[in-house]
Structure 1
Amino acid sequence: MKSVCALLNRRWLSLCLLLLFFTADLQAQQRIEGLRVWPAPDHTRLVFDLNGPIQHRVFMLENPRRLVIDMQQVRLNSPLSPSLDGTPIQRVRSAVRDQHHLRVVLDLSQEVQPRSFLLRPNQQYGHRLVVDLVMPDQVSPTQRAASVARQAQRGRDPRRIVVAIDPGHGGEDPGAIGPAGTREKLVVFAIAQEVARLLDADPAFETVLTRTGDYYVGLRQRVEIAREARADLFVSIHADAYRSPQPRGSSVYVLSQRGATSESARWLADAENRADLIGGVEGLLTLDDKDEVLANVLVDLSMTATLSESLNAGGRVLRQMGQINRLHKRNVEQANFLVLRSPDLPSMLIEAGFISNPQEEQRLRDRQYQRQMARQIAQGIQEYFRDHPPPNTLLAAQESPARDYVIRRGDTLSEIARRNGVDIGELRRLNGLSNDVIQVGQRLRIPAS
């Protein structure tokens, strides 16, 4: 009887040890909770949701074309079955390797350039592995913006005013989330699209959107898109959020070089700037070839003029928004937003309302209210440029049409351009000149200044 009991005890002990080792092995492995896919015009982003940090490597295989993602000490918690519409991915496969590791294979329909990185937890998500499939044959947002700039100026003299409209957040970055679950990225994209539609319907304007769908664009890349389009104004649209649900109302912000004008402005700028941690970091302005003193002078001069224009334009938009919604502050506020730091581009950041306020959230998610807000923003932009038309634009021509000038002794083309406040290249182009040679008595057409 004793030997039977001893045998049973040994078996129970072995079973317990086996269960203990098995449980410890499961705890040592990280888990993939799900996979989300975000297609963009020039890349596709895959986001693996994890319960902790992992080690991984990514490499390509050919014939057939595949991307392999190897993850160590990882197991699947649920099947990988995301929507693959609009992506170069034909199929997602996975298999366990060496009992503890996971291999994910993407069957691809075209050439891609992969890049990957890990993200730490934030307010919405836990640990994540991000894999970007960059498609070199596709038109990038900056290339599309440059094309918009060329089309705006090709065959037109004078040109249209170019406005870059930036719907905040997108894709993996949902922005603020309201009490009822409304996502900022969807609200501001709807408003931005309507602003673009209204301005594009005006013959004097041309717009470029920094994103055209639900995908992530880095904060610096948004500014680069605007600069590639040679935009006259950069308008970033957001829906505010705060730590408590009480604050409400619309706001307009421009850059501050000395600090925020209020505690809420500082808090908001910090929150928005953190979004850049989701993507890569690129520079805004290159002055590497300049002497340090000269570089500082150039930036200061440019920033002073740009900030004045930004404040003026922002004030027009703020007044227009105040006709349909309460204003959080009666004046344009200033804070150190990353997307407003371009010293040569007038810029503003619009907060359409507080999505963290339950009553305002309901208005912001209403399609009719989104159209009303877009209309006020567009009217503020149009009002500003009617009073301050950039040189060589259709609005400037309406105020000051092209005129004739007869060349006198001692005139030079550069001096004529300077006196009339016009670009010398524009002067050559309007008069069909291949160089700066002119003659006394020659008649020139002077473009609107």
Structure 2
Amino acid sequence: MNNNYYNFKAALLSLLTLFSFTALANQVQGVRVWPSPDNTRVVFDMAGEPQHKSFSLDKPDRLVIDLTNVKGGTSLPAVNGESSLIKAIRSSGSGNTMRIVLDLTKASKANVFALPPTPPYGHRLVVDLPDDQPQRNLPPPAIRAARDIVIAIDAGHGGEDPGSIGPSGIYEKHITLPIARQLAQLIDRQPGMKAMMVRTNDYYIHVNRRTEIARGQQADLLVSIHADAFTSPQPRGASVWVLSLRRATTEVGRMLEQTERHSDLLGGVAEIIKDSANERYLAQTVLDLSMNHSMVTAYQVANEVLSELGRVTHLHKKEPQAASLGVLKAPDIPSILVEVGFISNPQEEKQLKSPSHQTQLARSLFAALKRHFEKSPPADSLFAQQRAREHRVSAGESLSLLAQRYNVSVDELRSINQLTSDSIRVGQTLRIP
């Protein structure tokens, strides 16, 4: 054998040794627990792409994950966060294999998957543990007299999904949540309106679950709050997005294929459309009408929101924008997505971080929503009842005549309308107690 052969063999051996070292270079660098009301996410931050297998055990309930090609021992870093679904997270192993065991308080159908690097995170192994607690549902509208208008508020991103990152390093998720919370407080203080937070803290919710949560609470409107970003720092200003017609048509077709969900999507009409296979055309008509109503309502709300936002911040787009966004896709819930500004713009990022500016944004959103529902309240709502108890004065009418007609006292009419005398004028709108 000549020297070239031995040199080649030595080089190949060195390369294989280097490859083996690289393959063994993986390591668990962090463990993060993100609890939410119906799901717990556990994230293992990895040095490299994880090679894993997993299985569940019962009596007691456990999830077992086996990692291969791991170096640096078998102990885990300190766990950041906790969940009522997880008793403990422990590890063991030998050689280059690590076994991780999640001791659970009850059975859960775990979903274990790897995620590639996405700034600010590297390789991750993710465990989703659904908590099958029943959703909090409001009573059916049919048994609620003069019900509240329910606004679902979706604070964009959260938990493992930080959203866009500003020049100073702030995450979008840390801007959207405080604005959403303030908006919820304003709504809850308004008689006849009720806020429902899609996420109440810093945890991840899949975009499809956000509309399902809103539907579970029988929301009249879904408002998703985000902060925009671009590759250059120049763009600035707020915008409001509604569902595109193309996405709407696709969603109606997809919903028709999911016949098991027709009762959710068609409401009371589902009691009539018993056989959706034979009466598909009727189901499609109802869904088309529902989607059309949702899109028209969303566009009206979007215009009101832009009008109010323009008072407190620069507008990037002065008209509602249409897009194929997942959080807007519900055919039965009018939905808008509000970009409150560009987090990638240094000056606007500074504004968005300011609590006083966040308060201004929340107040402008509330004013827009309140004005919309005062103009177009759901028929069974308190807003509709209050609107119905108004009277426009015609020629020949007097305060005493109206008091007699509505079976109330003149004093009550004076008080509720803040009148200093019994004089009223033609065309004047009076509230009726």
Both structures adopt the same fold (TM-score exceeding 0.5) = yes
- Against the structure 1 CA distance between its residues 93 and 366, is the aligned structure 2 distance closer, same or farther, given a 3 Å change threshold? same
- The within-5 A match list for 1:218-233 is 218-233=206-221
CA contact (8 A) 2:64 2:100 kept: yes
Give the Cα–Cα distance (whole angstroms) in 1 for the partners of residues 142 and 185 of structure 2: 21
- Against the structure 1 CA distance between its residues 202 and 153, is the aligned structure 2 distance closer, same or farther, given a 3 Å change threshold? farther
- Partner residue of 1:122? 118
1:27 aligned to 2:22? yes
CA contact (8 A) 1:163 1:234 kept: yes
Residue 354 of structure 1: CA displacement? 0.5
| CA deviation string 1:185-224 (max 9, x = no partner) | 1110110011011000111101111111111111111111
- Partner residue of 1:170? 158
| CA deviation string 1:280-317 (max 9, x = no partner) | xx989869935565554444333222211111111111
- Against the structure 1 CA distance between its residues 20 and 328, is the aligned structure 2 distance closer, same or farther, given a 3 Å change threshold? closer
Residue 341 of structure 1: CA displacement? 1.3
Give the alignment's TM-score, normalised by structure 1.
0.72
Give the Cα–Cα distance (whole angstroms) in 1 for the partners of residues 210 and 79 of structure 2: 27
* Aligned mate of 2:71, from 71, 75, 86: 75
Give the Cα–Cα distance (whole angstroms) in 2 for the partners of residues 94 and 17 of structure 1: 36
- Partner residue of 2:184? 196
Q: Structure 1 residues 55-64 or 304-313, which shifts more?
A: 55-64
- The within-5 A match list for 1:386-405 is 386-401=374-389
* Aligned mate of 1:210, from 198, 207, 216: 198
- Partner residue of 1:366? 354
- The within-5 A match list for 1:228-247 is 228-247=216-235
Give the Cα–Cα distance (whole angstroms) in 2 for the partners of residues 226 and 197 of structure 1: 18
Give the Cα–Cα distance (whole angstroms) in 1 for the partners of residues 14 and 84 of structure 2: 43
- Partner residue of 2:398? none
Residue 336 of structure 1: CA displacement? 1.1
Which amino acid is 1:344 matched to? D
* Aligned mate of 1:256, from 244, 252, 258: 244
* Aligned mate of 1:179, from 167, 173, 176: 167
Which amino acid is 2:351 matched to? R
- The within-5 A match list for 1:288-299 is 289-290=276-277, 293-299=281-287
Give the Cα–Cα distance (whole angstroms) in 2 for the partners of residues 131 and 365 of structure 1: 32
- Partner residue of 1:315? 303
Residue 113 of structure 1: CA displacement? 3.5
CA contact (8 A) 1:220 1:283 kept: no
SS at match of 2:327: helix
Q: How many residues align?
A: 358
Give the Cα–Cα distance (whole angstroms) in 1 for the partners of residues 12 and 149 of structure 2: 74
- Against the structure 1 CA distance between its residues 84 and 341, is the aligned structure 2 distance closer, same or farther, given a 3 Å change threshold? closer
Residue 67 of structure 1: CA displacement? 2.8
Unaligned runs of 5+ in 2: 1-10, 249-259, 267-274, 391-433
* Aligned mate of 1:383, from 368, 371, 386: 371
- Against the structure 1 CA distance between its residues 26 and 154, is the aligned structure 2 distance closer, same or farther, given a 3 Å change threshold? farther
Give the alignment's TM-score, normalised by structure 2.
0.75
Give the Cα–Cα distance (whole angstroms) in 1 for the partners of residues 50 and 331 of structure 2: 40
SS at match of 1:47: strand
- Partner residue of 2:89? 92
CA contact (8 A) 1:153 1:160 kept: no
- Against the structure 1 CA distance between its residues 302 and 89, is the aligned structure 2 distance closer, same or farther, given a 3 Å change threshold? closer
* Aligned mate of 1:49, from 45, 50, 64: 45
Which amino acid is 2:321 matched to? E
- Partner residue of 1:421? none
Residue 56 of structure 1: CA displacement? 1.8
CA contact (8 A) 2:243 2:329 kept: yes
CA contact (8 A) 1:242 1:356 kept: yes
CA contact (8 A) 2:32 2:81 kept: no
Which amino acid is 2:88 matched to? R
Which amino acid is 1:226 matched to? A
- Against the structure 1 CA distance between its residues 352 and 259, is the aligned structure 2 distance closer, same or farther, given a 3 Å change threshold? same
Give the Cα–Cα distance (whole angstroms) in 1 for the partners of residues 85 and 17 of structure 2: 39
SS at match of 2:71: strand
| CA deviation string 1:61-105 (max 9, x = no partner) | 4565543211122235884212343443343322233x1211112
